[in-house]
Structure 1
């Protein structure tokens, strides 16, 4: 564990807690999973059991995956200089379940984190590995023969955002009481608690604030590796989206990007972030 990583986490999350700085600093408890991540090279000596399980589920037709929840338990604070080890196991696989997304299996993994012999925390992560349900009037593949991408989950709180996206407009909520802009969409203002809001349309200009490159796990409708960025809009809010128009290994923090809308299949329109001056097929620039 190290202080620079704690600082990066706190800056990204906007967490200014005094416990995370100074000579007696501790790590934010929710960083527990961070210390077990292997980076782009992964963990070379790791057993293949989890990948083998996912392969078996792929073979059973459960080719899609969605994260459902995670649980963390903290037994003591972690401090810079602690050297951690961890053991990860497949804790459980449910019987076949039927969900709105489709039928499949809930797979739970458990990671026990230790400093020396002492257990300091536990992280449980659960996914649903499923066979997508067929939508009325829709086939199982996109026009190019590839599996369809999963559609965004639309609910009463974010329906207005996705209606704007279908119209190639990126709408940001604005509290009518204090004027605070917010994203993602919420039922109330996180600054003053006010329940009333209107929207402003984003200019489409942004800067890449942070990013990750997705290598694993592979999804049938996606082509890894690809970059997913946290973009700071000119209006001041941040949102997540794919970074396109530049090779994934040339994506850099501070990259100027501009909003575009990419169409997938017949039903799905998604906002993406393209390096300034570039445009790809099936995209509409703002």
Structure 2
């Protein structure tokens, strides 16, 4: 996580921040000892995981990759016995204030000499700094930085600074309402059909041409008289786009929007669901389903097209 965009909040009245500042300079761990000496198997696993083929990390004169510095000090699930109460007290104060969530933000390392297999690592940690109260997109809280001095055979080999944000999660905004369709005298019949879970297509009573979207007259012969037929709901993806931008509060991109060719021969635009957005393909068979969204303005029913089971490459959901 980057600290870009972080802004201070109410620094003048930050009584908790003043209490937290008192912990700066207090030890977080004293006399910590690495669980294992620096060893070739750990180095090999690290290099394989990182794809690092530097010859300096293998052979009889091998050194450990400098970026493994923290690996030799980590306590694993059992933890370290050298941890002091001061760090726990600091985190406890933050928890009591509502800053119950934590995220690692960044680390800095200094390398003074390389470690070699057989080196025994010891370390001490100090609470180096506590920021004033900050507001981030995650929520409001405090950045806490610890500095670990790493030694081998009594000599300093490196320093590791680790920064976390302890914060009170920001309240989630209620979901934005979905945009409602514009219903007018020309298309009201279509939306009435949708409300009844029926997909209605206009049909010219003169030449029999089917049309969608709904129009006041026939494009083929100009006749103004029409009736409707109920579509089967089956079709295929004729074309599609995956929406990433612009963001809109009511939707959660990315999601697929398809131009669906119904078996009756007309095409309509709607969301493609039932498979992940990146599995949508031209030609996929789909079938209409009607989704109801409970909104403050009343229930909203929309037709979407779900990929026919067994035709996609995995299950997932699109935006309805």
TM-score normalised by structure 2 residue count: 0.44
TM-score normalised by structure 1 residue count: 0.49
